[in-house]
Amino acid sequence: MRTKMRLLGFRGAAVKPLNEEAAAELGAELLGEALVFGVGGLCLYLEYLRQAGQSRRREEHLEQTLSDLRQGLERLQRDLDELRAQ
């Protein structure tokens, strides 16, 4: 109960002890909430990793395409120079 009061912003408030049933119920509620927030945070982290991987693969693909285009342009430039020389 003290932890819950601290989370709600009550500092130094006197809290009388709970009976065993109420304490168990409150503990189960806090554990359930922690589990939900933990799973939510994990999902957000995994989604971030997935998006970062997709972004990295997209960037690599664009770099490869640009490299291929530059090589093609250089090849065409050499062919043009050879034709001009003939």
Per-residue pLDDT reduced to its tens digit, 34-67: 999 999 999 999 999 999 999 999 999 999 999 9
The C-alpha atoms of residue 25 and residue 16 are separated, in whole angstroms, by: 16
Q: What integer pLDDT is reported at residue 32 of this predicted model?
A: 96
Provide the token pair at 10: 């009550």
Where do the structural domains in the chain lie, given as residue ranges? 18-85
The C-alpha atoms of residue 67 and residue 79 are separated, in whole angstroms, by: 18
Q: What integer pLDDT is reported at residue 12 of this predicted model?
A: 66
Provide the token pair at 19: 């009976």
